[in-house]
């Protein structure tokens, strides 16, 4: 599915990730944890080839080198980025961008077919119908923005979802309902997920197969959900300084 090999990422001449390697299998959920500024969100932006980040190394998606593809081309390959703070855009509705995004993916449909797609998503996810013709995230709360992003997720059918701090700005009820919608999508599509997070709270709702910890520009620890629990207890510094035998206990 996704293979990142020897990736070095720079922003403003500062190295954020250095010789970074990551592998995500099909239908796998991988959590990337790390303290503030450790490069977790940079990883998402590097995968999407954000112009502010300079890269060396290789990113393979389904065997294809996507390292230097344009952002829109990467998205069309099947990668969906749910941003930590989704942008507010005035004058452009969800319906209009989703329609265009489906069109460029080669989906041919008339207005009735398109409306049915959106209505089916509304029914499946329980998202308020008003979001369809709402300007993208405009004047929505943090939680509402994340719910709003589910429309795009379901409509664009990605096979890899990047969840960048999904839990930030969400109350527990919203986190539960959004996680449920993402889990249902994954169950239906067998897609993979990369969860970027500081805390283990989201990992109770979207269960990871693997947990990796970024420390000093690279993955320093890997394990299962118990690693996230240890981090929650000991903190990042405390966990990193533990020996392997400590971790296995």
Window of 2-10, 58-66, 93-101, 225-233 that interacts with another protein by CB under 8 A: 93-101
Window of 3-11, 16-24, 91-99, 113-121 that interacts with another protein by CB under 8 A: 91-99
Check: CB of residue 40 under 8 Å from CB of residue 214.
Answer: yes
User: CB atoms < 10 A from the CB of 60, how many?
Assistant: 15
Question: Site for another protein (CB under 8 A): which residue of 2, 29, 32, 48?
Answer: 48
Structure token digits, residue 193: 């997920």
Q: How far apart are CA 95 and CA 176, in angstroms?
A: 25
Structure token digits, residue 91: 């004058």
100 vs 224, which CB is nearer to another protein?
Answer: 100
Binding mask 55-74 for another protein (x = CB under 8 A): ---------------xxx--
Question: Site for another protein (CB under 8 A): which residue of 6, 21, 64, 92?
Answer: 92
Question: Site for another protein (CB under 8 A): which residue of 5, 10, 35, 50?
Answer: 50
Told to check if 34 binds another protein by CB under 8 A, we report no
Told to check if 20 binds another protein by CB under 8 A, we report no
Binding mask 140-179 for another protein (x = CB under 8 A): ------------x---x-----------------------
Binding mask 122-141 for another protein (x = CB under 8 A): -------------xx-----
The nearest distance, CB 84 to another protein, in angstroms, is: 12
Number of residues written out for the chain: 249
C-alpha torsion 232→34→205→178, nearest 10 = 130
Told to check if 109 binds another protein by CB under 8 A, we report no
Q: How far apart are CA 83 and CA 44, in angstroms?
A: 9
* DSSP conformation letters of 102-132: HHTTT----HHHHHHHHHHHHHHH---GGGT
* DSSP conformation letters of 60-86: EETTEE-TTS-HHHHHHTTEEEE-SSP
Contacts with another protein by CB under 8 A: the residue count is 27
Question: Site for another protein (CB under 8 A): which residue of 86, 121, 144, 192?
Answer: 86
Check: CB of residue 9 under 8 Å from CB of residue 39.
Answer: yes
Question: Site for another protein (CB under 8 A): which residue of 12, 36, 87, 243?
Answer: 87
Burial class (CB in 10 A: 0-12, 13-18, 19+), 227: buried
Q: How far apart are CA 210 and CA 188, in angstroms?
A: 21
Q: Which residues bind another protein (CB under 8 A)?
A: 48, 50-51, 70-72, 75-76, 81, 83, 86-87, 89-92, 96-98, 100-101, 104-105, 135-136, 152, 156
């Amino acid at each position: 599915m996704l293979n990142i090999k020897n990736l070095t990422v720079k922003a403003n001449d500062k190295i954020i990730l250095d010789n970074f390697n990551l592998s995500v299998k099909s239908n796998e959920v991988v959590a990337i944890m790390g303290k503030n500024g450790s490069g977790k969100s940079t990883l998402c932006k590097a995968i999407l080839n954000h112009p502010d980040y300079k890269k060396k190394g290789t990113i393979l998606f389904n065997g294809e080198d996507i390292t230097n593809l344009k952002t829109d081309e990467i998205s069309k390959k099947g990668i969906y980025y749910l941003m930590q703070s989704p942008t507010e855009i005035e004058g452009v509705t969800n319906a209009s961008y989703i329609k265009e995004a489906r069109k460029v993916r080669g989906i041919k449909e008339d207005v009735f077919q398109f409306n049915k797609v959106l209505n089916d998503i509304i029914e499946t996810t329980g998202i308020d119908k008003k979001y369809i013709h709402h300007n993208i995230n405009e004047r929505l709360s943090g939680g509402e923005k994340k719910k709003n992003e589910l429309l795009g997720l379901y409509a664009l059918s990605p096979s890899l979802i990047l969840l960048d701090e999904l839990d930030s700005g969400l109350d527990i009820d919203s986190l539960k309902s959004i996680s449920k919608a993402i889990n249902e999508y994954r169950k239906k599509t067998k897609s993979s997920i990369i969860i970027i997070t500081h805390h283990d709270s989201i990992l109770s709702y979207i269960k990871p197969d693997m947990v990796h910890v970024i420390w000093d520009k690279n993955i320093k620890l890997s394990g299962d959900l118990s690693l996230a629990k240890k981090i929650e207890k000991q903190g990042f510094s405390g966990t990193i300084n533990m020996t392997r035998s400590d971790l296995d206990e």
